[in-house]
Amino acid sequence: MMARSGSGLADSLGSIVSAGLAAVIPIGVLSGSGSVYGIRRAGIISVCLALAAYLAQVLTAVCIEAPLYGGGRRGELPTVVFAAGFLGCVLWGAGVTGSVIAVAGLFLMIPALECARASAVLQGGWRRELIVGALLAAGVAWTLISRGPVALHIGVAVAVAGAMLIRMPPRWAGFPLPRGGQWWVVAETALVGSVQPIALSVAYGGLGAEAATGLKFVLSSANIVSPVLYFLRLRLLSRRSVRDIGLACVLLVLGCGAILAFQAAGAFDLAFGPTWSAVSLGMLVAGIVWKGLSAGTTIPFTALRRSGEGAVVITVRLIATALFIAASVIAVNAVGTVIGVLTGFVISEALSWILFAVAARRFGVGANVSRKGKAS
């Protein structure tokens, strides 16, 4: 019994660490792009990365989260997703020759990598995940040290392709479309996922390329702890567990503290070079507080979705998304700073938590939680 519990904890930690290392891929791409192409083109790439991340969220909802709706079972990740990811790696690698099609590779490579990561969270296998994490970290490290086009394109492409190859299942899997209430999951994810690309586009148009790059850096840095939240989200969608909630909270505090410590010590300036000058400590604090509040939102949200209350979830998400977008537009036009945009994110997330908690209480879900991680 103890061995099984220890194995489960190892799988959880391995998946989270690997996913956290995968989250630095956008940071490496953005920093490398700033060094190779300059801040103006880095600003454009920051928007492209946000759009690619949005596609990743929607694809993950279709392939991974929708089958879990209402307490369903997880499905296999479609083989065509891996094929698209490998094609994206080839296109991004072609950027070393100066080809403009490289950016198109981001829209295939990033979604496939994220889908494979989400699938791995449910599958477990901590040894495999640590190998994947080390491979991705090596690709980013080469990019940051070299600051040249070969490392930026070939290094990242090889690392991502290797990670997907390791995670690829041995048998062919088709592409099942969501059915019935599962479409609520896809619609809700498409809705809430639109916030970041819209905010970045607004920042790029209203504040300029440097501000958009700084905002994307903060969002990507905060996303280093997103795997903890995503681990919590997927685990609570498949089962409710005090252990998973406790583990996620501890790792979230440690991760956020480490990010702030690295910024205060100047480690990020050293690692990411002059492009990081667009980021301040205040911006990072605001971004991390926003991510921390997301953990609170996750618990009532997953309780509602597990119970099949898709209409309730999407209604709350509609209100929350409107709050986020309105806050971004107001911050850009009235305050004119990135920290204003991030403060709007903090306020909007706090209100979202309250709305989801009220909705969960209203519909009487999420009251019972298993200490052993079993469905209750």
**Residue ranges of the alpha helices (H) in the chain?**
2-22, 24-37, 39-60, 79-93, 102-123, 126-146, 149, 156-167, 182-193, 195-207, 209-222, 226-238, 242-265, 267-272, 281-306, 310-330, 338-362
171 sits in the region (left: phi over 0; alpha: psi -120 to 50; else beta) called: beta
Q: Domain for residue 306, yes or no?
A: yes
Q: Domain for residue 371, yes or no?
A: no
Q: Domain for residue 373, yes or no?
A: no
Q: 209 and 48 in contact (C-beta within 8 Å)?
A: no
- Which domain does 284 fall in, by range? 2-362
Nearest alpha-carbon partner for 159 in 12, 290, 308, 29 = 29
Q: 340 and 331 in contact (C-beta within 8 Å)?
A: yes
Q: How far apart (Å, rounded) are the C-alpha atoms in residues 376 and 373?
A: 9
Name the packing angle between helices 24-37 and 126-146 (round to 10°): 10
* Residues in the chain, pLDDT under 70: 1-22, 70-75, 121-126, 238-241, 364-376
Output DSSP code: residue 155.
Answer: I
Q: Domain for residue 321, yes or no?
A: yes
**Number of domains composing the chain:** 1
Q: Domain for residue 370, yes or no?
A: no
Q: Domain for residue 372, yes or no?
A: no
Q: Domain for residue 375, yes or no?
A: no
Nearest alpha-carbon partner for 205 in 320, 29, 26, 46 = 46
**pLDDT at position 123:** 67
| Interval 334-359: pLDDT, tens | 888 889 999 999 999 999 999 999 99
Output DSSP code: residue 78.
Answer: P
Q: What does pTM read for this prediction?
A: 0.75
Q: Domain for residue 368, yes or no?
A: no
Q: Please list, in sequence order, all residues whose beta carbon lies within 8 angstroms of the beta carbon of residue 55, skipping any fewer than 6 positions away.
A: 107, 110, 111
**pLDDT at position 349:** 93
Decide: helix, strand or coil at residue 171.
coil
